[in-house]
Amino acid sequence: MEGRLSILLLIHLSLLVGEARSAQVVLNFDELDGGTYLTGAEVQDRYELSDRYLHDYGAVLHSDRPYVVVVNLNEGFPFPQAPSPPNAIGGVTSDNQIDYSTPVVIEFFKPGDRSVPGVTSFISVQLDKSGDGLPVTMTAFDVEGVLLKTVTVNDQGAPVLRISMPGIHSVKLRGQFGSSYDNLTFNPVVAERRFRRGDVDSNGRIELTDPVVILGFLFYGIPEGIGCAKSADADRNGKVDITDALALLAYLFTTGKPLPEPLSACDYDRGSGELTCEASPACP
């Protein structure tokens, strides 16, 4: 009985841990100072928003200026127009005026470190309630600026734009004259680095020690983790398991069958699943 209880407790605890790890970030901008929402108004410094969320969440926002504007949608409307009142965000023209048809860009980095690109696997944003019914698009790009996906909604009744796929480094929101954005939600951002497949210990060479590191990790927990899990995914199936060690051994010693790129040189790997590459010293 006691044994069964502790198993249940373990299952419960592991569910809790899983939940904590995958907790989404929700930014509603309501803790910030919000200014007028009027199109054409000049943006004052205190309503600018750019890298405030870099340290904790790895998100940086900009428009034609290196920031977006935080607008208070409570004033002047009979009912609050922000999905979470009072604030939403909007675009800023190059001459520093509020303009909702100027695109808003959200870019991800390793939290606290703008020199290392980051990626998320899910992002959504909600439009305000005063839409004009015209189409608004969100386009996602990978770390190299390659277009991943575009979604479109008609801006009426505070619709939500969402994209769910691995490798999202940035999104561009392209709205109409009255499109402001709220409740920006995304999965935790992880660092993205160049790597070479098979160079598991990232010493610049693919050799016997690399499959040995995979086997040690899988069967003995030594090392505890692999700095660049993508480099260990030799067959590029999105998981690190014994088939990767075998594929690597075959590449080195028997069939010589090449592994999927990036193999010949350091590079990013687009859309190869949820594995990450946090550290890869041989691929700066």
Residue ranges in contact with Ca ion by CB under 5 A: 28-30, 82, 84, 87, 182, 199, 201, 203, 205, 210, 233, 235, 237, 239, 244
* Closest CB 198 distance from Ca ion, rounded Å: 7
* Closest CB 79 distance from Ca ion, rounded Å: 14
Report the residue number, 57 or 109, with the smaller CB distance to Ca ion: 57
Q: Check: CB of residue 155 under 8 Å from CB of residue 136.
A: yes
* Closest CB 221 distance from Ca ion, rounded Å: 18
Report the residue number, 109 or 283, with the smaller CB distance to Ca ion: 283
Report the residue number, 101 or 243, with the smaller CB distance to Ca ion: 243
Range 250-256 contact pairs with CB under 8 angstroms and sequence separation of 24 or more: 251/198, 251/206, 252/206, 252/207, 252/208, 252/211
Report the residue number, 77 or 150, with the smaller CB distance to Ca ion: 77
Q: Which residue is nearest to Ca ion (CB)?
A: 84
* Closest CB 88 distance from Ca ion, rounded Å: 6
The gap between the terminal CA atoms of the chain, to the nearest Å, is 54
Report the residue number, 235 or 278, with the smaller CB distance to Ca ion: 235
Closest of 101, 103, 84 to residue 29, by C-alpha:
84
Range 47-54 contact pairs with CB under 8 angstroms and sequence separation of 24 or more: 47/71, 48/92, 49/89, 51/114, 53/27, 54/109, 54/111, 54/112, 54/114
* Closest CB 76 distance from Ca ion, rounded Å: 16
Count CB-CB contacts under 10 A for residue 114: 14
